[in-house]
Amino acid sequence: MMARKIALYTLALAAVLGVFALYTRPDFLLTLADQIWACF
């Protein structure tokens, strides 16, 4: 049970750090903004 909780927290932390790493790249932000703008 404890190992499952630690694995879940580790996975959540990796996901948060991955998203943060993407937001530090300006080209990713520009691509994301273009894709969102294309929806309208």
pLDDT in tens, the chain (40 residues): 899 999 999 999 999 999 899 888 889 889 989 999 999 8
**Amino acid in position 16:** V
Q: What is the pLDDT of residue 16?
A: 95
**How far is 8 from 1, CA to CA, in rounded Å?**
11
Total Cβ atoms within 10 A of residue 5: 9
pLDDT of residue 15: 96
3-state secondary structure of 31: helix
Tell me which residue range forms the domain holding 17: 2-38
The number of folded domains in the chain is 1
Q: What pLDDT, on a 0 to 100 scale, did the predictor assign at position 5?
A: 95
